[in-house]
Amino acid sequence: MNMTGITIIRTGCQAPWKEAFRKAAIITLAAALVFIISATAATASSRIKDIVYVEGVRDNMLVGYGLVVGLNGTGDTLKDGHFTKLSLQAMLNRLGVKPTDSGLDSDNVAAVMVTASLPAFARQGSRIDVTVSALGDADSLLGGTLLVTPLLGADGEVYAVAQGQLAVGGFQAGGQAETVTKGVPTSGRIASGAIIEREIGFEFGKKESIKLTLRNPDFTTARRIAQAINAFLGTTAAAPSDPSTIHLRIPASYKDNVVNLLTDLEQLRVEPDQLARVVIDEQSGIIVMGDNVRISTIAIAQGSLTIRITEAEQVSQPGPFAEVGTTTTVQRTSIEVDEGEENRLTVLQSGVSLQEMVNGLNALGIGPRDMITILQAIKTAGALQAEIEVM
């Protein structure tokens, strides 16, 4: 074609810019696939700090016995020989007050148990939360104040002292014919209600080796954690000794600086392995199945026989203008039988996934209670490749 002296020739050759665009598109697609795969792997993995405990980093339980005062007539009944009455007498005697038995008839006092958790490396003078629970027959702790209560550890030593105003989430109100209760009015908390008086000595920063304990013991997970740590440190510093314990030797570069070592290691990601397990709570009908649960080829049919009997009374009386007869009641019984004819036989193929197995059982219209029995029957038949744990 010739226009104003310009000749345009069309050929079958591909322009260079099209080839460059095609290569760029392929590279972009490959990068996107790599990003998706890496994101999926990151989602499936967990940080080491979320799946292990560190030796020495643990809480300690504290407990104490005390008195709550200031209740609005909802305290314990101070009858003769009651422990609340004896505790109140002992406390008043220590304060220089000598009460008589007839004078201790208040219903504004309650005996309580005080519990708390002493965090790891808690220092003297810091505060912790406490939980207060009624020990006697008090109706409510609302508005009460906990008096000074020593909190003891398992060794019998006092590690904290608690005192303060209770925060109770529940309440109780009622009259002669009805009572309304919300929550648990006989239990409350005191935020920062205890002061730590004794520290637990533990030289953590200068340890030469530590132990990492798995929250869910597993051979494969323990090995993966050790491999991830050794790859990060570039040396064989970690080794699993059993499914729940990994021994970690402190490298020379982290000597006397265990905190920095754990800070670096706890962010490493590891994919935990898990057993094929089915957990059943028969009381509530809850079923939890792991992703690795598999079954062999089986056929399942679920049917139940239901008999419903209804009793009703009907009045029978003589007709109008009848010379004889009496009015009486007659029992009428109605019986319905449901043999479950509509239930069908379902075949579950070998190696099906958890989702496919659940869908197959749901197709039978099976409830949680019947599903528990079916899973136990599948296990008995040897077709369930998983462990069943009944809570």
What is the full DSSP assignment across 269-325? EE------EEEEETTTTEEEE-TT-EE-SEEEE----EEEEEEEEEEE-PPTT-SS-
C-alpha distances out from residue 137 to 4, 68, 107, 134, 325, Å: 110, 13, 11, 8, 62
The pLDDT-based confidence of 82 (bands split at 50, 70, 90) is: confident
Q: Are strands 277-281 and 387-390 parallel, antiparallel or unpaired?
A: parallel
Least confident among 123-127, 230-234, 271-275, 344-348: 344-348
| pLDDT confidence bin for 302, thresholds 50/70/90 | low
Cα 366 to Cα 1, 29, 64, 374, 381: the distances in Å are 77, 45, 49, 9, 19
Contact (CB, 8 A) for 249 and 237: yes
Confidence of residue 9 (pLDDT cuts 50, 70, 90): very low
Mean pLDDT for the stretch of residues 252-258? 86
- Whether pLDDT at 8 is above 50: no
Question: Taking residues 368-381, what's their average pLDDT?
Answer: 78
Instruction: Give the number of other Cβ atoms within 10 Å of residue 21's Cβ.
Output: 11
Summarised one tens digit per residue, pLDDT across range 279-290 is: 888 777 788 877
20-29, 306-315, 317-326: which is most confident: 317-326
pLDDT of residue 301: 64
Higher pLDDT: 291 or 92? It is 92
Query: 277 is written with which tokens?
Result: 């397990």
Check whether 278 has a pLDDT greater than 70: yes
307 by Cβ neighbours in 10 Å (0-12 / 13-18 / 19+) ranks as exposed
**Res. 177 pLDDT band, cuts 50 70 90:** low
How far apart CA 316 and CA 326 sit, in angstroms, is 8
* Residue 336 contacts residue 308 (beta carbons within 8 Å): yes
Sketch the domain layout of the chain as residue ranges: 60-169+184-196, 209-270, 278-303+343-390
The predicted model gives 321-336 an average pLDDT of 69
Across the range 24-48, mean pLDDT stands at 56
DSSP 365: T
Q: State the average pLDDT for the chain.
A: 79
Residue 271 has which token pair? 């994919």
| Range 96-102 average pLDDT | 80
Per-residue pLDDT, 303: 61
